[in-house]
Structure 1
Amino acid sequence: MLYLNYTIDPTSEDRYHCIHAAGVHTVALPWLAHYEKFCAEDEEEPLPDMSLHDKSIVEHLICTKPLTSSPPFPILGLATINNHLLGNNLIVLTTDMDFLTIPLSDHYKLPPAMISAMQTTSKTMGSPFKELSKEPFDKHISKILQRTTSTPLLKGSKTMNISQEECYMLLIRSTKVFREQYIQKQDLAMEEIKRRINILQTHKTHQLSALENLEHSKNLLRDSTQSLAEKYESCKENQDQLLNR
């Protein structure tokens, strides 16, 4: 018998935890606040564009039925706790009266769009920041690290028998998910960070060179100002002598 029960995460207004026959799923709806605001307003405004907001995220946290032949092992209940030392955690009670604690992260909450002052002011020709995306760097890295598939915690009945072939298939699938959703994405993020460092170093060299040129121009202007001041004093003395005559 398939059943489904869900609860709202008290630590996040756009996240829900679902209990079902196969374990626990977490569903995040970052766009929900925009639609709630739209429905609460009395004025007629166009429907918010879904493409402008973050997509929904579904994570399988606990899997109690890894195989179709696995016996039922439902979750009896769950609760969310928020501690200033331990952070957000999900406590799950299984059928065998065992408690599981799973830390909850807010990685799906991307930072607000802020354009760096250096990016907005460095619009001159030849600026290395022209190679960068207009998107904030922290948001860009968060999108690279965003996972589309999660590896749940396997928890089943003690009487469940899994053959060696089935264990091998589960291991292969888990390894594939870790390689594609974790290692490869981290490698991409590392390459992007290295590229950003190289661009920032180039920009620093460009700024140091521009600063040196400005210092040289400053010295020339100071010498020129001193020379003009001396000529002004000389002209003033000559004018005074002519007026006295």
Structure 2
Amino acid sequence: MSDHLDNSSNPIRKRKSIGILGGTFDPPHWGHLRLAEHFSRVLQLDHIIWMPAGQPWQKGTDITPAKDRLAMSEYAIETLHDLFVDHHIYTKIEISTLEMAREGPSYAIDTAKEIRALYGSEASITWLMGQDSWENLKTWHQWPELPKYVHLAVASRPQAVIDSEKLASMAGVFAEQQTQDPQLLQLNPNGHVLFDQNLQINLASSQLRDAFIRGSWDEIADAIPPLVLEYIESKGLYRNK
């Protein structure tokens, strides 16, 4: 795609487009990768920042050590890079340790402010999330402030697994900012909430940790990229949780 429209008197340059994929990644799974791939296309992202949480304040202390979650993320990114090459997607991918380096609880609003300061006021910055995160948004620290710094892009879940009560409670949240037009996110730096119905993800890291305990190897093999799974096996993760 051209960097500017064909208007010699007033060229309009393409706004730099950044996606933030934050999470505990305990462990990372194909749902995370498919979400990154999908929104890279839909939002024409120049750059995806994979952001493992440091001390997720809602998760308590029973999470895998940061060094292991970072290593698993690195293997997931390697797989995602290969996926992008195969599908001719030119979005740059990088892991950020911004939240891991932050002392104390890890809040999305602080990350949004720091990423906005890093990329400036004109870049389009979008926080990418699944519907489970959207349904819990009201529990996030200073959640009403997020659209001041970023867009939100939400991938739906299959209708059969949607929590209708939680969904109903979120119906009016950011009502004026909600859209199904991805171009609004591309053309503006922040302030919109995109609901995407074309990608439906029904994977959760908590369910996969339980699957390790149950020994549900078919479920695990289908859900976790092979390089990530090899690391988990080599370190004996999720055996005694």
Question: Is the structural similarity TM-score above 0.5?
Answer: no
- TM-score under structure 1 length normalisation: 0.24
Higher Rg of the two aligned structures: 1
Higher relative contact order (CA 8 A, sep 6+): 2
TM-score, structure 2 length as denominator?
0.25
